Amino acid sequence: MNLYEKIKNKEEKISVIGLGYVGLPLAVSFAKVVDVIGFDIAKDKVDGYVKGIDVTKEVGNLALKETTISFTSNEKDLRKAKFHIVAVPTPINNDKTPNLNPVKGASKTLGKNLTRGSIVVYESTVYPGVTEDICVPILEQESGLKCGVDFKVGYSPERINPGDKVHRFETITKVVSGMDEESLNIIAGIYELVVQAGVYRADSIKVAEAAKVIENSQRDINIAFMNELSIIFNKLGIDTTSVLKAASTKWNFLNFTPGLVGGHCIGVDPYYLTYKAEEMGYHSQIILAGRKINDNMGKYVAENTVKLMIKANKQIKGSKVAVLGLTFKENCPDVRNTKVIDIIDELKEYGINIVVHDPQADKKEVFNVYGIELKEIVEIKDVDAVILAVPHEEYKELSLEDINALYNNNYTHINGNGDIDDKKVFIDIKGMFNRSETEKMDYLYWRL
């Protein structure tokens, strides 16, 4: 009886190391059919999960309360499992180089508690070679075991899309790889227990690592192209959304839109690939050009906000701007690497006071990470401009009258022609509202 059969029969356990936006849904899914140990070094997070509190909002409190996962922050509990899935973050440093500390730390912790006959599968996004060249030596050193003899490894890139209720862990084809045919068959079989969409067996671990890192790089480049078009069309006085609607009537036009590219995937993964390329003596041109455009979009939005405020005869220094939405994407509480913060920081450079609201983000986390005190929307009033930064579902319920209530409606200014100018500046980054309707209500409206 091999490891697959033992796990299927609940004679052996799976461990999931790292219980964030990727690891938690994965652990909950597996726990429906096999025995799962859910490990995370953050004791507070683990305690919350035990109580049925899902801070990620990926699976929901009810699913947590009903799950059979054995949650723990005690690394020795990993010794009870034989199939280990590592799903920790892989961020970048300030200089845009890969920060492999979380995956190295997880490998060290697991290595100390690794037993003979185990299989270790990494899901963290990395550049080709990390699993075999960096993680395996750590596992061997800490465990005293030999890879290929005492334990085996594989790689299966995560494809979870935070906040997406349609494309879930179970419904996305799972790319799997193993160091040899035996490990590949076991890894594929175990994932097939829960992944309804089936698995794709990659030719090697490096191929699977490369496939993951180019998925987000491709998306990043396409969005960068849209952002560059937005900059060009803005200079030409053409509405980008209208252009894209017209162009999308062609059957093979790719459906991408301009926007802020943050988070822990699309805004990060391309740097892993370009870092490895540099190591091999090749300087990326297209990938880094796309990254440069996307990294500067927050500043671009802020600059256009100030331009419109000047056009509306608003005094810039000491003015007040409301930012609606702080997370890196809509309908998700994750604020890691959000590009909305770039808008806020840039506006502060002009001496503008910023008030921020987000119905999805955790207030405590936002304050701890960014020093920003999130406001309730009813607390926001007398602002000179509104930036609708993230199109959360909650904001789709807002009417233009609701937006109007946020402004300083007593504000008037006599312009150079002797006319009263009380236009309200409204920056609708993703174009949630209808342009013509907003302009009829005397807004100065702008979107990417």
Residues annotated as catalytic (active site), given as ranges? 265
d(CA 272, CA 210): 10
Picking from 394, 410, 402, the residue whose alpha carbon sits closest to that of residue 426 is 402
404: left (phi over 0), alpha (psi -120 to 50) or beta: alpha
Buried b (16+ CB within 10 A) or exposed e, 278-298: eeeeeebeebbebbebbbebb
Number of neighbours of residue 304 by Cβ within 10 angstroms: 17
How many residues can be counted in the chain?
Answer: 448
CA 364 to each of CA 333, 360, 370: distance values in angstroms, whole numbers, following the listed order:
12, 12, 10
Q: Please write down the long-range contacts of 59-62, taking CB distance under 8 Å and 24 or more positions apart.
A: 59/24, 59/25, 59/28
431: left (phi over 0), alpha (psi -120 to 50) or beta: left
Neighbour order of strands in the sheet with 70-72: 70-72, 36-39, 13-17, 81-86, 118-122, 151-155, 174-178, 199-201
- Sequence-ordered list of residues with C-beta below 8 angstroms from that of 113, at least 6 positions apart, any chain: 75, 76, 78, 79
d(CA 5, CA 193): 11
Name the strand (E) or helix (H) holding 137: helix 136-143
d(CA 406, CA 354): 13
d(CA 413, CA 243): 35
- Residue 95, token pair as written in the block: 């200089």
d(CA 269, CA 262): 11
**Contact (Cβ atoms closer than 8 angstroms) between residue 353 and residue 317:** no
Picking from 108, 98, 176, the residue whose alpha carbon sits closest to that of residue 130 is 98
Taking the C-alpha atoms of 182, 188, 194 and 195 in order, what is their torsion angle to the nearest 10 degrees?
180
Handedness of CA 255, 261, 265, 267 (dihedral sign): positive
Give the max Cα distance, the chain: 88
